[in-house]
Amino acid sequence: MNRIFIIGPGGVGKTTCGKIFAEKISYDFVDTDFEFINRIGEIDRYIEEKGYLIYRNANSNLFYELIEGRNNNTVFALSSGFLADEIDLSKHSNSIRDLGLSILLLPSESLEETEEVVVKRQVSRGLNYDEKREREKIKKRFYDYQHFGDIKLFSDQSPELIAEMMKTRYNELSRTSAPSPHSSD
């Protein structure tokens, strides 16, 4: 399990917690949204100019390019819509399952609590996020996210505590899935 994919909606701390977590386990860190912005352009502007379908395809292509170009010891913070799009859902979920381990990050198991936290954080980012649109997006995607994550973390704690929980759960899962040194071949 040398690749770790952090999934969840925008505003849950995938990037902030992911960076801390990667540092704790001595892995590289890649934020797919940051890479999209650096290599292709501002996401909102790109969608506005080219449409969501073309953005989705470009984002998917970039994901596979990033996977090919990185060593295995990498934590990836995935775009919030990466596993929410029905067209590429099967391909993406199979890739994540085959290529590594996934961590679902949500502030709560409750839709209402998650909605409040996510919308508040997204709107406060100063990126012209529309509160109504953000509410609709999280309501639409919340239950879809529940199907993902080898590790599921529901917490609204500080990024440091969440990263420590990620590390603990990752280490527990790594120990249980590692072959026993006493097993015979």
Asked if residue 110 has pLDDT above 70, the reply is yes
Element (H, E) at 104: strand 101-106
Helices (H), 4-150: 14-24, 32-39, 43-50, 52-68, 89-99, 111-124, 131-145
Q: What are the residue boundaries of the structural domains of the chain, listed by start?
A: 3-173
Q: What local confidence, expressed as pLDDT, does residue 19 receive?
A: 98
3-173: CATH homologous superfamily? P-loop containing nucleotide triphosphate hydrolases (3.40.50.300)
**149 pLDDT tier (thresholds 50, 70, 90):** very high
CB 17 within 8 A of CB 166: yes
pLDDT 10s digits, 53-69: 899 889 999 999 999 97
Q: Quick one: which of 88, 136, 77 has its CA closest to 111?
A: 136
Q: Which of 58-72, 113-127, 148-162 has the highest mean pLDDT?
A: 148-162
